[in-house]
């Protein structure tokens, strides 16, 4: 009976997406195995974490699904109200349901970019029984070195997924991505972007769900060809060092600014291992490190400071 309900269809979509991505990654790194970890949250719900570590191709790759419900913490409610949500609690309580699939993939080779995606659905029941709902998510790429062909392929694949629904979506969500993944204290973006959206609740629940489904289905085709193209490229110790330094920036964004990490840490009973799965296995911070002018390292910094239009 419930299979037709949107919550159930979203739950199926996130599990299908997890399976598709894990199969694609395992095919590229057959010597490594995913650790599959099923967990439960005593406050309500649970999830499945699939994490691969120390493979030949991927240093760390995690794909998580979670479906959690219960009462929203005051800190989490405050975070949502700061984004303009009008949440009317009953006796200080806000029942919620949140579900999503999230992944971060950190390859070994510095010529293969890190990739992140996340697609989620949120529902809150207010004091009068009405339900607020919204979708959020996105897919973005963080290369250590700039490869224009890869950047164009990645963005074009995401644009095609968006264009099936509305030609205005890709430029809108591309800009949102560039703005969201901004490391303010560094004056640079985390990567070369992609798409990002949150709090989307129109034109209708069904239409937004179909859009999210198209985006989720675009994850494998936008990224896996890039991995195949570069996973056997040769690289120098200096290039590996630059990858480690860029990963340090990745950690800074995730721990200081990322909305999902903050929500997870503020939710009682949340699973810290799954929330911090996004962090790389290794990273590095050097004091006052500046790459030489006109170097390949300086080239990627220029793009991170001044986002480009990759599809026109």
pLDDT bin (cut points 50, 70, 90) of residue 77 is low
pLDDT of residue 9: 95
Q: What is the pLDDT of residues 179-196, one digit of tens each?
A: 999 999 999 999 999 999
Catalytic residue among 116, 153, 155, 165: 116
Across all residues in the chain, what is the average pLDDT?
92
pLDDT of residue 3: 64
Does residue 81 surpass a pLDDT of 90?
A: no
Q: Which residue has the tokens 């490391």?
A: 183
- Mean pLDDT on 164-168: 98
pLDDT of residue 251: 97
Q: What is the pLDDT of residues 32-58, one digit of tens each?
A: 999 999 999 888 999 999 999 999 999
- Mean pLDDT on 130-137: 90
Whether pTM exceeds 0.85: yes
pLDDT bin (cut points 50, 70, 90) of residue 2 is low
User: Which candidate, 36, 64, 31, places its Cα nearest to that of 231?
Assistant: 31
Residue 116 a catalytic site member = yes
Task: Provide the 3-class DSSP secondary structure of residue 19.
Answer: helix
- What one-character-per-residue DSSP string does 198-252 give? EEE--S-HHHHHHHHHHHHHTHHHHHHHHHHHHTT----HHHHHHHHHHHHHHHH
Task: Provide the 3-class DSSP secondary structure of residue 18.
Answer: helix
Does residue 171 surpass a pLDDT of 90?
A: yes
Q: What is the pLDDT of residues 232-282, one digit of tens each?
A: 999 999 999 999 999 999 999 999 999 888 878 877 777 888 889 999 999
Share of the chain above pLDDT 70, in %: 93
CATH architecture designation of domain 2-284+297-305: 3-Layer(aba) Sandwich (3.40)
Q: Between these two residues, 129 and 145, which has the higher pLDDT value?
A: 145
Does residue 300 surpass a pLDDT of 70?
A: yes
């Amino acid at each position: 009976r419930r299979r037709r309900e949107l919550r159930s269809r979203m739950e199926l979509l996130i599990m299908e997406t997890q399976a598709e991505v894990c199969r694609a990654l395992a095919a590229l790194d057959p010597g490594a195995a995913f650790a599959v970890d099923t967990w439960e949250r005593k406050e309500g719900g649970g999830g499945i974490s699939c994490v691969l570590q120390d493979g030949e191709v991927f240093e760390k790759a995690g794909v998580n699904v979670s479906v959690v419900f219960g009462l929203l913490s005051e800190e989490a409610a405050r975070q949502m109200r700061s984004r303009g949500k009008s949440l009317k609690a009953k006796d200080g309580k806000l029942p919620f349901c949140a579900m999503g699939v999230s992944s971060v993939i950190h390859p070994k080779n510095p010529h293969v970019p890190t990739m992140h995606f996340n697609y989620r659905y949120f529902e809150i029941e207010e004091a009068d029984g009405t339900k607020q709902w919204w979708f959020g998510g996105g897919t973005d790429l963080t290369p250590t070195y700039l490869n224009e062909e890869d950047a164009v392929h990645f963005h074009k694949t995401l644009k095609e997924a968006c264009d099936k629904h509305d030609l205005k979506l890709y430029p809108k969500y591309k800009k949102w991505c560039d703005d969201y993944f901004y490391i303010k204290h560094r004056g640079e973006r985390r990567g070369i972007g992609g798409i990002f959206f949150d709090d989307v609740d129109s034109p209708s629940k069904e239409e937004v769900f179909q859009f999210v489904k198209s985006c989720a289905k675009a994850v494998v085709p936008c990224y896996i060809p890039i991995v195949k193209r570069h996973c056997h490229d040769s690289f120098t110790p200096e290039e590996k060092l630059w990858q480690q330094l860029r990963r340090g920036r990745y950690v800074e964004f995730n721990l200081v600014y990322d909305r999902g990490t903050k929500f997870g840490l503020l939710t009682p009973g949340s699973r810290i291992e799954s929330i911090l799965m996004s962090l790389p296995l290794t990273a590095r911070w050097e004091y006052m490190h500046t790459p030489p002018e006109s170097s390949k390292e300086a080239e990627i910094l220029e793009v991170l400071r001044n986002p480009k239009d990759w599809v026109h």
